[in-house]
Structure 1
Amino acid sequence: MARKTAPFAPFEFMIAWRYLKARRAEGGVSVMTWISLIGIALAVFALVATLAVRAGLRAETVKSILGADAHIELHYYAAEDAAGVRDDVIRDYDDLAARLDQVPGVIVAVPTVKGQVIANAGSNNAPMSLYGVTPADLMKIDGVAKPESAEGDPARFSEGLALGQILARDLGVTVGDTVRIISPNGARSPFGTRPRVSAFEVVYIFRSGHGFTDTTRGYLPMAEAQPYLNREGGVDMIDLRLENPEAVQQMLAPVLEAAGPRAYPWTWQDRSGGFLRALSMQDNALYILVSILVLIATMNIISGLIMLVKNKGRDIGILRTMGLTQGSILRVFFLVGALIGCVGTVAGVALGVLFAWQIDTVYSFVDLVSGQSKSALEAQGFFFPPAIIRLSDILWAAGLSLGLSFLVTWFPARRAARMNPVEALRYE
């Protein structure tokens, strides 16, 4: 009785390796092997490079969406005070901000007063979202403390008003000019609420790079903003900025636990839900299209293995008469296709990682070909996103390529295993 061998025995690898190294007379098989390998390598390269650029594009898009806005705005539900008046103002904001600062993953918690006002300078008027923060907290706000460009001195913020660059341009003001702010919810009197008008010197103009922020945003010192917006002794919200904005949903539970039962959140994803859904749909479509490219590349393995099985019919018959089982024959030809898929996948991943790592060199090549500098092309509307290499993307690309390679290899390998040795040797 013939002794059974363990699956994927060394001799099966040896035979598969010999078949991969086709002789000169079987050059067609060798050519198909190289075509399959190069096709898989290029497809995986395209997948890894696309995923890296897509990750960089998403990061830049999220950064653009966030601008100077909070990752989480924490508000209070309205509650009745001792006089029976419903009030949603946060009175214990210093203690609350201190507790939230201690939550792991929170970079900073900024108590903020917010109101909608009209800004006026001469004959120019513009709607403005007025934010009241302390001078120390202003320096913690990305896009304001670290702007793309700025005029004036943020250290003088306690003396006046900070404006977004486009808003200042619309009002026709610069540092040192005076802006009148008109609030419709102003001073309360026995005859009703009268609009409140105050004038402030512009001490700082920032450009955050976020169009909406630069067009509508103004900052006022907390000490001035609270009485102006009728928030004496309180704030409207606590602005939280996180280490990882993408993990905002995971941060909600610890943040709300630290904030207490009256608090409720409003995240940046809530503000931009529609845009993020469109971005996710675009990502899914991109995955499908590039995955089809990988599938097409792996299909070349089938044609190469079919040619190999046809050319090796005599060898298969001899191996079967020598005692090799159908399982051994199947594993031999499966190994041939799997080795092609593995080598192609490794080469493709290496090329994709190299492309992402040297993305700036690629952009320099674009400059050379186009004859224009990167900055000039960006001024014309071209966008050059960074490439971010993520382990999850690499594993996903490699897993897809290997899975498809193993799957398509199975069918010609099974055909080889089922070949009748008598028929294979009849005309030999």
Structure 2
Amino acid sequence: MTDLAPDLTDAPNGTKPFSRFEWMLAGRYLRSRRKEASISAIAGFSFAGIMLGVAALIIVMAVMNGFRTELLGKILGINGHMILEPIDGPLNDFDAVSERVSKLEQVRAAIPVVEGQVLASGRETSSGVLVRGVREADFAKMPAVIDNVLQGTLQGFDEAGGLAVGSRLAAGLGLQLGDRMTLVSPRGAVTPMGVAPRVKAYPITAIFQLGMSEYDATFVFMPQVEAQLYFNKDDAVSFIEVYLQDPDSVGLLRGPVMEAAERPIFITDWQQRNATFFSALEVERNVMFIILTLIVLVAALNIISGLIMLVKDKGRDIAVLRTMGATRGAIMRIFFITGASIGMLGTLAGFVLGTVVCLNIENIRQFLSRLTETELFSPELYFLSRLPADMDPSEVASVVIMALVLSFLATLYPAWRAARLDPVDALRYE
């Protein structure tokens, strides 16, 4: 220890804070020795715990963000941000109302829609579907549909008099492009015997895949004029869908939209229609964050136990250093560096691991599905056909900072105990 004496006395009151001497001793304490195997094992488990905890937090938060973003994009890609429904009578002036509303600065499109629920029959089975009557020109304002046509075309949709159906619906009914789908509506023609169901068959002219299983299995698009005849709407529509530049600005645009409509209307927005769903996602996300934070907390507690054992094992070394002039602050910094290094390395490794997994999350899912011969992340349960991951830099930074803070706090008590150790007592009972 004599070769260390000059370093200990360089400063009048001991070593300089975080000097090379303190880092050297902390590095020696981190390296494994045969008689310190248990301490090294605890340090290894602490490192692994922090790494896995940080990686799990980053991955789960990214998947939850991706899940919300994908669902929001799919839902708002085919459903308007605002729905304008008539109050005082049929919405037969929909062209004029749509034109006035679409001229507002924040409005991207206003699309009149005829909507109704019917029973669709194919070769093998039947299924309840949601039919929407839309004009061909309005499909250009719905990129979520027009950009995801797998078979057929939407050109000449009005004149063709056919249907555009979801891929899962067509597969479920055993139908292909060009086949005829039979639609049955309970509200048909009025006869002396009552209302007779309306049954009519239409050819399938396009098959689309939105990537959201619920929509691909239930949505059917029909030319608007044909839908008005089928649902007895005459020259009216069911409602007008309004697409905004910023979906979060629905609250600010309610007043201007009602003024532009120039008739009594009832407005519902996407936040109201999906409030329960997205609130449940937010609660689940927060709960998962709290649960996974406990992994990092347990790893931080392992750092405390490992450092306490290290302080007890190095009591004689601490006493010798104190008698050679090392201050309490130097001893405290040595053990602080020892514990903090575990936390910093574990956090860095967890950040790298979490980032790599998030960037390859879909490939990993497919590999695990092939390996286990099971379908992970089933579209029927989770509505999406792929596992999304969207890393938010601010959330990743908060996870990293939280892990570092917990790691640093975990080192304070053992380091303080080491600094408070009486060298006389330590040498007496050694």
CA shift in 2, pair 1:236/1:125, >3 Å:
same
Query: Is residue 270 of structure 2 the alignment partner of residue 268 of structure 1?
Result: yes
Larger deviation, residues 405-414 vs 108-117 = 108-117
- Counterpart secondary structure, 2:163: strand
Cα contact 2:46–2:303 (8 A) shared by 1: yes
Aligned residue among 62, 67, 81 for 1:52: 62
Shift of 1:309: 0.9
> Alignment RMSD, CA only?
4.6
Superposed, which structure 2 residues align to 1:3-402 within 5 Å? 8-10=17-19, 13-14=22-23, 17-22=26-31, 24=33, 27-28=36-37, 29-62=39-72, 66=75, 69-75=78-84, 78=87, 91-99=96-104, 102-103=105-106, 108-116=108-116, 118=118, 129-142=130-143, 144-147=145-148, 149-150=150-151, 152-159=152-159, 160-165=161-166, 166=169, 175=178, 177=180, 184=187, 201-202=202-203, 204-208=205-209, 210=212, 212-214=214-216, 216-222=218-224, 230=233, 232=235, 236-240=239-243, 248=247, 250-253=248-251, 255-256=253-254, 259-261=257-259, 265-363=267-365, 365-366=367-368, 369-370=371-372, 372=373, 385-402=387-404
Shift of 1:368: 5.9
How far apart, in 1, do the equivalents of 2:141 and 2:91 lie? 28
TM-score calculated relative to the size of structure 2: 0.73
- Counterpart secondary structure, 1:144: helix
Give percent identity, aligned residues only.
27
Larger deviation, residues 336-345 vs 50-59 = 50-59
How far apart, in 2, do the equivalents of 1:140 and 1:300 lie? 57
- Report the AA paired with residue 419 of structure 1: L
- Counterpart secondary structure, 2:78: coil
TM-score calculated relative to the size of structure 1: 0.73
Shift of 1:154: 1.4
- Counterpart secondary structure, 1:387: coil
CA shift in 2, pair 1:113/1:377, >3 Å:
closer
CA shift in 2, pair 1:110/1:221, >3 Å:
farther
How far apart, in 2, do the equivalents of 1:181 and 1:380 lie? 25
Shift of 1:386: 3.6
Aligned residues: 404
Shift of 1:361: 4.6
Shift of 1:360: 4.6
CA shift in 2, pair 1:364/1:36, >3 Å:
same
- Report the AA paired with residue 238 of structure 1: E
Shift of 1:73: 2.2
Can you give the 5+ residue segments of structure 2 that lack an aligned partner in the other structure? 1-10
Cα contact 1:345–1:398 (8 A) shared by 2: yes
Shift of 1:305: 0.6
CA shift in 2, pair 1:355/1:113, >3 Å:
closer
Cα contact 1:89–1:231 (8 A) shared by 2: no
CA shift in 2, pair 1:71/1:346, >3 Å:
farther
How far apart, in 2, do the equivalents of 1:149 and 1:274 lie? 32
How far apart, in 1, do the equivalents of 2:184 and 2:363 lie? 49
